[in-house]
Amino acid sequence: MVAQQIINAVSLGGVYALLALGLAIVFSIVGLINFAHGELMTLSGYALLASLVLGFPFPVAVLVAVSCGALAAVAMERIAFRPMRGASVTSLLLTSFAVSSLLKVIFQNGISARPQAVAMPGWMTGAFSFGDFTIGVGPSISIVVSALALIAMEVFLRRSVTGTAMRAAAEDFDVVRLMGIPASRIIATAFLLSGLLAGLAAMLWVAQRASVDPLMGFTPVLKAFIAAVVGGLGSLPGAVAGGFLLGIIEVLLQATLPAAIAPYRDAIVLSGVIAVLLLRPQGLIPAVRVQRS
């Protein structure tokens, strides 16, 4: 039971960490909290559903769904956010809300407002024994995928030329521009990675729910935003730490709170967030620069 709760906590924290890292990558470079990030999740979920309905093998359907999330993020940047480049933070925020609302309406009226079942492979809902413990296959896969994705992202950001330029841009974008590195390429890459992480998180989220609906991405992205703030808005390591911390706290509270207090779990979590921010206003691992216009 304890091992299963630990697996669930790390699994949920991994999903939040992927989403929070996607939000942090874009914020650290563009200064934008992209609230349409949740709709990238939803789009990937619907792409997975469509691919399975068309008869694609499950691995191919997952690949198509994650690719759709990444390409949609690039398209979103090109169509909605690039024309707003240089605008105020408030204008960018309103634009992200507008894009999010527009996509929700398209999903609700173009597909369905009701949840659509996704036929996940039977082996993902099974469990395996490890000594005296029984561990679910789905949460274990979630942990492995989250860990591999975060490691791959770390290697990309630290070992590749583009990743190094993105880290430099997160600290001082003007200097990167003066060095002749195209701003459009850096920003488009940030959105591409953000969409890729949203697509991966969507696959892990759908694997737990076996359904997709127009509001699927709202709650996890809201939690990821909280995690990014707790970790240190704009800090990539902070986003990952905040995601895992939030996931672990949620699962621990769910497992230990009495039934009469359990409905107040989110309120307790948010109270803890406020306490953390009172003690460390810049988050657990503050970014070098936390505000950019």
- 44: confidence class by pLDDT, cuts 50, 70, 90: very high
**What percent of the chain is predicted at pLDDT more than 90?**
23
For the cut 60, the answer to whether the pLDDT of residue 290 exceeds it is: no
What confidence score (pLDDT) does residue 8 get? 78
The C-alpha atoms of residue 227 and residue 225 are separated, in whole angstroms, by: 5
Across 79-88, 107-116, 142-151, which has the greatest mean pLDDT? 107-116
Q: What is the largest CA-CA distance in the chain?
A: 60
For the cut 50, the answer to whether the pLDDT of residue 292 exceeds it is: no
- Paired tokens of 118: 């996704």
For the cut 80, the answer to whether the pLDDT of residue 15 exceeds it is: yes
What confidence score (pLDDT) does residue 191 get? 92
Average pLDDT over residues 100-112: 91
The C-alpha atoms of residue 45 and residue 139 are separated, in whole angstroms, by: 18
For the cut 50, the answer to whether the pLDDT of residue 35 exceeds it is: yes
- Paired tokens of 169: 């841009």
| Contact (Cβ atoms closer than 8 angstroms) between residue 170 and residue 287 | yes
CA-CA distances (angstroms) from residue 260 to 1, 254, 255, 256, 268? 21, 12, 13, 12, 13
- 60: confidence class by pLDDT, cuts 50, 70, 90: very high
Average pLDDT over residues 192-203: 91
Element (H, E) at 117: strand 116-117
What confidence score (pLDDT) does residue 289 get? 56
- Paired tokens of 177: 């521009």
Establish how many alpha carbons lie within 13 A of residue 145's alpha carbon, considering only the half-sphere containing its beta carbon: 25
Q: Which of 91-100, 124-133, 235-244 has the lowest mean pLDDT?
A: 124-133
Average pLDDT over residues 170-181: 72
What confidence score (pLDDT) does residue 51 get? 94
What confidence score (pLDDT) does residue 31 get? 79
Average pLDDT over residues 147-172: 80
| Contact (Cβ atoms closer than 8 angstroms) between residue 106 and residue 46 | no
- 293: confidence class by pLDDT, cuts 50, 70, 90: very low
Q: Which of 33-42, 60-69, 172-181, 252-261 has the lowest mean pLDDT?
A: 172-181
